[in-house]
Amino acid sequence: MPEPFRYRRIFTYGSSQFCGHIEAYWAAHTQDLLVYVVEPRISKHQNVIRIYHEGHFVSETPVRSSQTIIGYYALWYLNHLCALLRFSTHSERTLVLGSHPIAFLGMSLIKLIRPLVYAYWIGDYFSDERRIVVLFERVKKWYHARVSFTFYLSDAINRVMNGHIAACPSHRTVMWGLKACSEEAVPPAVPFTLLFVGLIRPGQGLETITGFLQMHEGFRLCLIGVGQPVYVKQLQDLIAQRKLGDRIFFPNRFYSEEELVSVARTCHVGIALYDNSPDNFTHYADPGKVKAYAEMHLPVLMTRVSDIVSYVERFGSGEVIGSIDEIHAALEKMSKNYSLYRDGVRRFISHFEYERYYRNAFAALEDI
């Protein structure tokens, strides 16, 4: 006899970027699910609304958006409101799980005509002192204090929002889960190959790692991602200037999941050299890059940014450095003890395996 659905009716948000397999989790365990996929405004995009019923995909409907700031947010909210009123019913409760204040706009009035329960999963915090940013964070806190359930993508956000780390079932930290791909044999030890996956932009340590490669011949880099043409040209020029064209694979195009996994199986370590300055919002995030490397069974070399550092250190799934001067020593240590780091990745995967992790994390939502 199949397991009954854990959740009855959920209206939530999704993204085409890495988001911890959360849409797959809700779709598999929710009787009726609506996912509103809102893409970033800065690029040409199309938002969509997906409907699932009893674990099966039903439909995907494009909705209007705009690249102008007023049009973007106005159409976002209008589509949100129309979809919510159509999806929710008068007779049974609907959980609205949002990650942006716009999802909670007018909730007191809407709850007068629909039996809605609101939950806020907060995925970022900005310490920038610009007035617009300060206002945005105040709005987040205002809604945070008025919803039934609050979840946080990191303990750092949890602490900022509550003054301490809330850890009860309805108010707790929930990080990204992960789903590992099949594990393959380790590639040959030489050359020891590094992998960078993500948006090609400043602040990712790419200039630093090319400088490291110039000084140390025993390493190679696979650089998978796309970026703004101006910065990509600067990086390509830097690679040519440092005569690294034969040791850096940089196709400068989008890779499918299958292609990415194929490349990752030729690599040894994932690189996540985030800028660790105090105003970097990554301090409050759960970087998807680290989880993505773990899914591909790669230990990580990362800077001391984000709460995920404590898990990398606890499970021994990588090395955490405080400055660029430590890169060589960290990679030498990883290459000499590589099997131990792979064991650490397996422990990391076991802890964050998304089916078990989310079921425990969102247990309070099963009673709605």
Q: How far is CA 188 from the centre of its chain?
A: 30
- How many other C-beta atoms can be found within 10 angstroms of the C-beta atom of residue 59? 10
Q: CA triplet 37, 291, 329: central angle to 5 degrees?
A: 145
Q: Is the pLDDT of residue 43 over 70?
A: no
Query: Binning pLDDT at 50, 70 and 90, where does residue 158 land?
Result: very high
Q: Is the pLDDT of residue 202 over 80?
A: yes
Confidence of residue 1 (pLDDT cuts 50, 70, 90): low
Q: Is the pLDDT of residue 53 over 80?
A: yes
Q: For the segment 261-315, what is each residue's pLDDT rounded down to a tens digit?
A: 999 999 999 999 988 877 788 889 999 999 999 999 999 999 999 999 999 999 9
Q: Shortest CA distance to 235 belongs to which of 43, 192, 227?
A: 227
Q: Quick check: bond before 115 cis, omega within 30?
A: no
Structure-block tokens of residue 35: 């996912």
Structure tokens at 114: 């629909």
And the tokens for 277?
């300055």
Contact 178, 22 (CB under 8 A): no
Q: pTM of the entire structure?
A: 0.92
Q: Is 248 helix (H, G, I), strand (E, B) or coil?
A: strand
pLDDT of residue 36: 98
Number of H helices, E strands in the chain: 13, 14
Taking the C-alpha atoms of residue 30 and residue 290, their distance in angstroms, rounded to an integer, is 28
Residue 8, C-beta contacts closer than 8 angstroms, at least 6 positions apart: 30, 31, 32, 92, 93, 95, 368
Instruction: Say how far residue 46 (Cα) sits from the centre of its chain.
Output: 20
Closest among 117, 124, 86 to 103, alpha carbons compared = 117
Q: Which of 7-16, 279-288, 328-337 has the lowest mean pLDDT?
A: 279-288
Confidence grade of residue 41 (pLDDT, cut at 50, 70, 90):
confident
- Position 46 pLDDT exceeds 90: no
Q: How far apart are CA 128 and CA 43, in angstroms?
A: 23
Please check whether the two domains, 7-177+353-367 and 192-352, share a CATH topology.
yes
Domain ranges of the chain: 7-177+353-367, 192-352
The SS3 assignment for 173 reads: strand
- Residues listed for the chain: 368
What is the architecture, at CATH level 2, of domain 7-177+353-367?
Answer: 3-Layer(aba) Sandwich (3.40)
- Tell me the percentage of the chain whose pLDDT exceeds 70: 99
pLDDT score, position 282 = 86
Residues 208 and 324: beta-carbon distance below 8 Å: yes
Q: What is the mean pLDDT of residues 312-340?
A: 95
Judge whether 281 and 125 are in contact, CB under 8 Å.
Answer: yes
The two tokens of residue 219 are 């390493």
pLDDT digits (tens, 9 = 90+) for 99-115: 999 999 999 999 999 99
CA 328/CA 354 separation, integer angstroms:
33
CATH of domain 192-352: 3.40.50.2000
> What token pair was written down for 205?
């340590």
The pLDDT of residue 103 is 97
Tell me the pLDDT band of 189, cut-offs 50, 70 and 90: confident
Lowest mean pLDDT among 120-124, 140-144, 184-188: 184-188
Look at 361 and 225; give whichever has higher pLDDT.
Answer: 361
Cα 224 to the chain's mean position, in Å?
A: 17
